[in-house]
């Protein structure tokens, strides 16, 4: 009955379990400011955290600690960040952009 292998397809072979973020990167059009990678070792997060909190509160219309902490965790866990990925993760409101010029 069990020949030491599994029958069927693996998650990598099944299209239902494809990398959605990779698919969105190919489909969506992004602003030029999101083409750059950011080296987070050179960023002082303590300086920009108040701005992030203020900007998220401004976009949502109320202070949401869960969203703000999620953003902080996303920025803290990686060394090099592709801003397009950050945009996809945080695209909770299409009217606003994370680009600041």
pLDDT beyond 90 at 46? yes
In a domain, 48, yes or no: no
In a domain, 70, yes or no: yes
Q: How far, rounded to the nearest angstrom, does the alpha carbon of residue 29 sit from its chain's CA centroid?
A: 15
> Is 37 inside any structural domain?
no
pLDDT band at 47 (very low <50, low <70, confident <90, very high): very high
Task: Report which of residues 29 and 56 the model is more confident about.
Answer: 56
* 92: number of Cβ within 10 Å: 11
Number of domains in the chain: 1
Whether residue 54 is contained in a domain is answered as no
Q: Which of 43-47, 63-67, 92-96 has the lowest mean pLDDT?
A: 92-96
- Is 29 inside any structural domain? no
The tens digit of pLDDT for each residue in 75-87 reads: 888 778 777 777 7
- Is 55 a domain residue? no
3-state secondary structure of 91: coil
Residue 40 lies in a domain: no
Query: Which domain does 92 fall in, by range?
Result: 63-100
pTM of the model: 0.61
């Amino acid at each position: 009955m069990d020949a030491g292998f599994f029958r069927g397809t693996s998650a990598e072979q099944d299209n239902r379990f494809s990398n959605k973020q990779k698919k969105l990167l190919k489909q969506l059009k992004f602003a030029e400011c999101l083409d750059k990678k950011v080296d987070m070792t050179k960023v002082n997060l303590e300086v920009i955290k108040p701005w992030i909190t203020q900007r998220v509160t401004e976009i949502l219309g109320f202070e949401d600690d869960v969203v703000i902490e999620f953003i902080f965790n996303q920025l803290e866990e990686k060394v090099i960040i592709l801003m397009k990925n950050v945009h996809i993760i945080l695209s909770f409101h299409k009217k606003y952009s994370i680009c600041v010029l």
